[in-house]
Structure 1
Amino acid sequence: MVDALHEAGIEVWLDVVYNHTSEAQYTGPTYCYRGLDNKTYYLLEPGTGAYQDHTGCGNTMRTAHPAVRTLILQSVRHWAEEYGIDGFRFDLASVFTRDLTGEVDTRDPAIVAELSNLGNRHDLVMVAEAWDLAAYQLGRGFPSFSWRQWNGRFRDDLRAFVRGDPGMVPGLMRCLYGSDDLFPDTPAEAYRPFQSINFVTSHDGFCLYDLVSYNEKHNHANGHNNTDGSNNNLSWNCGHEGDKGAPPQVLALRRRQAKNFFCLLMLAAGTPQFLAGDEFLNTQGGNNNPYNQDNETTWLDWDLLQSNADIHRFFRLMIAFRKRHPSLGRNHFWREDVRWFGVEGEPDLSWYSHSVAFFLSGASLEDSDLYVMINAWEEDLVFKIQVGEPAEWRRVVDTARPSPGDITEAGVLPAEKDSAGAEHTAEKLTSDRVKVETRSIVVLERRSRNTPRRQC
């Protein structure tokens, strides 16, 4: 499988869990490490011998011990050398910074250094989920300049902004720029935006459709009286809980919100990640912790690919849009190439603001220019285009429009054609005023002065 994916130009990153085991607490089963050498493999409370639980799963591996470090390194090396895995995402990687007693010590923990060296030798991408139940080390707090990190704050800020929370415009701007407050590119620290793994949904928590369909988790099937799973989902059901009896206007708004989330994800600096099935609005019925549901709850419903073909088309073309514009996914921050605006004039950063716009120059990368207008308010807003003349700009994305008008097949350069050989049909502006409908995003594109004409 890995070879087949490589032949298709796709890297394979493996999600690995080295912070706990299924042996759970002292009442749990004895499968391996507890029976071999309990105090070597697990963090125990001094005196009582109770398991330290920094993972929420009943126990915590003692990753500072040489025996446990060797076990982890041999496992990673095996996957890299025998299967050709390209990268690893380490679950609850803050556990790696806990010393032999369980205290956090970020001064060059041995396992992080050893994994970094292993990664360098095998050209591996290392990704940290830089937190556990008690230690939150996102950004500079995690002791490695070379690792990438799951950006949980990107997830939370984007969710809050899109659902309409007040005071989130500054947070959205940070997310779009690449989270340089967490990954600063100062001479002393020299982080890059691609080290931020940007995501809205993952295998943990709500999938995308449930994020826009449920205010509350619905985990009763898990057998814990709905007490498991996070209560802080930053979700919004668009006016009706779940699908049963949902009116058409609610269902339509959910589709728009799903497009808004993915549009922002693809426009943001950093490395985008999305959950399998989100591209055709797969649902888990509101279950945000289906760890024990090997059934229709977690299985992908491929029939939705046909019924939600318009959403799949939008996802596919937004990915192509990002790949077509190196100015979005550049390996350094946007810096002087970006200018921020409001509906008119400067951006409104106040508590009651729900909108922002930005201009991104592509000249430095021989790319076209982009002008993005974002409206998370409950009413339509009319934005003034503050760069260039209206006739220079074409509307290439509008999440408020139904498919296929929500995104064009190709870019705006006159020499470009779509996959069928037809000229693009992106709408040219006739005014410097653009109505951006409630809870929607509009993206404009124009040829930069330094952008060469593409050949067919």
Structure 2
Amino acid sequence: MTIPTAAPEETPPLLDGLRVGPGQAQPFGATPVPGAVNFAVHARDTPRLWLVLMDPGSGTVLAEYPFPDEGRVGTVHTVRLYGAEAGRFDYGYRVERPPGTRSPVLLDPYARGLAGAGAWGERPRYRSRLLAAPGPPAVPRPSIDPADLVIYEAHVRGFTRDPSSGVRHPGTFAGLRQKIPHLRELGVNCVELLPIAEFDETDNTYTSPESGAPLPNFWGYNTVGFAAPKAAYAADPTPGGADAELRELVTELHRAGIQVVLDVVFNHTAEGGRGGPVLSFRGLDESAYYLLSPDGEPLNLTATGNTVNAGHPVTGEFILNCLRDWVIRYDVDGFRFDMASILTRGTDGRVLDDPPLLAALAHDPVLAGRLLIAEATDATGLDQVGSFPGHGRWSEWNGRYRDTVRRFLLGRRGSTGDFATRFVGSPDLYPGRPTTTSVNYITCHDGLTLADWTSYDRRHNEANGEGGGDGIPDEESWNCGYEGPTADHAVLRLRERQRRNALLLLLTSAGIPMLLAGDEFGRTQRGNNNAYSQDSPVSWLDWSHTASHAALLRFVSHCIAFRRAHPVLRRTTHPDGVLPDGWSCPPVSWHGETPGQPDWHPSSTLLAVLLHQQQPAGPADTVYLAANTGGARRTVRLPQPPPGTRWHLSMDTGAPTPLDSYPPGREPALVRGSLQLTGHSVAVLTAR
């Protein structure tokens, strides 16, 4: 390995009031101790290492002190800096490699704050910063059973960057905090934030085909500091500002009864491939932190240039400690792991049957009770959906649910039976495991928004500067008869029904539902299904849509309230068709135009399902759903509701607003024993 080097420098005298001595090998990173700061860093195969102190304003190097030989424990170098305190200086490390030369200043992998990034869009010159220890959480975490969760995936900057958001500090943690009333009114109780660990948004090789200006890395899946919140996401874009604002955001979300899940990226880093920058890991111990080929080249299993060596004990401990930091410092409620299948690979890159890191995360006492959600794929095509080694703790983004529901709503041949399996929690993928293993979604940040899924047959990614060939090639989308914006009322009505159909099926399916921010009010990305580089209205939520799409917003809030009101929709066991003793109906039964006669033919476009659950105390809970994915009107005869009840209409996507949905408890009773289904519509009934 070769890395850029800096010329040797003479060690300057100690700064006023400081003295150095050997430190302790644990914990890693910079840790305040009485009267001093302890530094501990793993650096293999280097005879010497220096602590570099820098001016917190300008970044000018103030002093460099060699780590004392007597402070070395194994491959851990330690030094204790007496008289130091948080805020007086920034810091970094230099290593001697090869002999006689010093590396550039390296970041501390465990740094809880990174200075030098500044406001959004400024080219960063990163420095590690010591932050003061936080106090205890201001409010307790909301206790929410995973079965009761409704997740809302959002990008911190994109959520409020548009002027229509009306917040004081657009595109920040503080801006998101101002939108908590919207989340509460909608009814979601968990926010999943796209990466908020420090990343370099200026790191993108592509340029705008219109202006020629560099495009940003907007999403942030190129982490620089894995334990440091992104400074530019704060109204005060400093490490201290980001630290304080993130804690305030989590506190206020918790106060509102909303949990917080962080999207974390432990499969690759911002150091990229061989020609990438040397920021930290590559200078300290490349073979421990990255998967390498026998000739020392980075293995690129992530399509980003490098792959984290999660199977190495040093790296596994680093990942575990970072997650603990987010829990201890910010009291977050869980994590979604980007390309989590990388974490299943051993030090040679091969997939392990029982990866030690996943077991450690599942059984770690600090992470106990926090959500662990895997994106169970990687860039090589490895797909572990249903087979991810979860140790009874992990949930998974269920991409098969997404694909199946999309195909079903388009009336694709052979999709009806597959949809039935997905609807009851994907028991084929998760036998013997709770339905909450499946995180169901139809849209996420990666792909078309829900409005665009009903408006475009193909991707429109020309603005990304990659010739329009990037992004998912085929999303099983349908423009409903016209590509893109239109004034055709028939097309617009069909698109509205399809959006409601998708949201209603999602929020009545067994598992944990996840919504994409803005789908509740018709957000569009103009057909761009890979908007990672679009810091523009393409990616920003247009809050004026809350007025222009108020009917859709009302419908979604009713769907969420309906889910919350019906325990039968939130069962953790996969229902079967066996009638238990004393029950009036089996847990699940399938129907068609005639009760008890579902149409499982590959060409079928009609399916109805009755869900039933006897309550330990109180009345039974019974829900009936009928979906017509064909274009023609269909009539279905209804099965008998439980004795002493009658059917009430909760949702009908084929009906005009406001007759398309009703708040729980206010649904009108049906006067006949059949249901008329408009083409491409879904109806839901409840027995009362």
TM-score norm. by structure 1 comes to 0.90
Written as runs of structure 1 = structure 2, the 5 A alignment for 1:103-142 is 103-106=350-353, 108-118=354-364, 121-133=367-379, 134-142=381-389
Aligned equivalents of 1:318 and 1:379: distance in 2?
A: 25
Aligned equivalents of 2:501 and 2:473: distance in 1?
A: 23
The Cα of 1:430 is off from its aligned counterpart by 2.7
Query: What's the counterpart of residue 438 of structure 1?
Result: 679
Aligned partners of 1:69 and 1:111 also within 8 Å: yes
Aligned partners of 1:390 and 1:432 also within 8 Å: no
Aligned equivalents of 2:637 and 2:504: distance in 1?
A: 21
Written as runs of structure 1 = structure 2, the 5 A alignment for 1:414-425 is 424=666
Compared CA separation, residues 286 and 292, structure 1 to 2 (3 A)? same
Residue of structure 2 aligned with 1:394, choices 648, 662, 668:
648
What is the DSSP-based 3-state SS (H/G/I as helix, E as strand, rest coil) of the residue aligned with 1:101?
Answer: coil
Query: What's the counterpart of residue 372 of structure 1?
Result: 625
Aligned equivalents of 2:299 and 2:320: distance in 1?
A: 23
Aligned partners of 1:391 and 1:429 also within 8 Å: no
Aligned equivalents of 1:170 and 1:46: distance in 2?
A: 47
Please say if 1:361 is aligned against 2:606: no
Compared CA separation, residues 173 and 218, structure 1 to 2 (3 A)? same
Aligned partners of 1:391 and 1:430 also within 8 Å: no
Residues 175-231 of structure 1: CA deviation (Å, up to 9, x unaligned): 11111111112xxxxx10011101111111111111111111111111111121111
The Cα of 1:121 is off from its aligned counterpart by 4.8
Residues 335-371 of structure 1: CA deviation (Å, up to 9, x unaligned): 3411111122421111100110011123336443212
Query: What's the counterpart of residue 276 of structure 2?
Result: 28
Counterpart code for 1:378: G
Residues 12-48 of structure 1: CA deviation (Å, up to 9, x unaligned): 111101001122222333333223332222112223x
Q: Could you say what the CA RMSD is over the residues aligned between the two structures, in angstroms?
A: 1.7
**Which is strand-richer, 1 or 2?**
2
Residue of structure 1 aligned with 2:393, choices 122, 137, 146:
146
Name structure 2 gaps, 5 residues minimum.
Answer: 1-248, 577-585
The Cα of 1:143 is off from its aligned counterpart by 4.5
Q: Equivalent pairs: percent with the same residue?
A: 39
Residues 389-441 of structure 1: CA deviation (Å, up to 9, x unaligned): 99821212100112110011232xxxxxxxxxxxx3x3332322211110001
Aligned partners of 2:327 and 2:367 also within 8 Å: no
Query: What's the counterpart of residue 351 of structure 1?
Result: 602
Residue of structure 2 aligned with 1:332, choices 559, 573, 586:
573
Counterpart code for 2:614: A
Please say if 1:381 is aligned against 2:634: yes
Query: What's the counterpart of residue 315 of structure 1?
Result: 556
Compared CA separation, residues 120 and 439, structure 1 to 2 (3 A)? farther
Query: What's the counterpart of residue 166 of structure 1?
Result: 413
Query: What's the counterpart of residue 89 of structure 1?
Result: 336
**Which is helix-richer, 1 or 2?**
1
Residue of structure 1 aligned with 2:512, choices 271, 286, 289:
271
What is the DSSP-based 3-state SS (H/G/I as helix, E as strand, rest coil) of the residue aligned with 1:140?
Answer: coil
Counterpart code for 2:284: L
Aligned equivalents of 1:367 and 1:52: distance in 2?
A: 56
**Higher alpha-carbon deviation: 391-400 or 170-179:** 391-400
Counterpart code for 1:437: T
Which protein shows a greater Rg? 2
What is the DSSP-based 3-state SS (H/G/I as helix, E as strand, rest coil) of the residue aligned with 2:507?
Answer: helix
The Cα of 1:334 is off from its aligned counterpart by 2.4
Query: What's the counterpart of residue 3 of structure 1?
Result: 251
Aligned residues: 426
TM-score norm. by structure 2 comes to 0.60
Aligned equivalents of 2:613 and 2:529: distance in 1?
A: 39
Name structure 1 gaps, 5 residues minimum.
Answer: 186-190, 412-423, 448-456
Counterpart code for 1:124: R
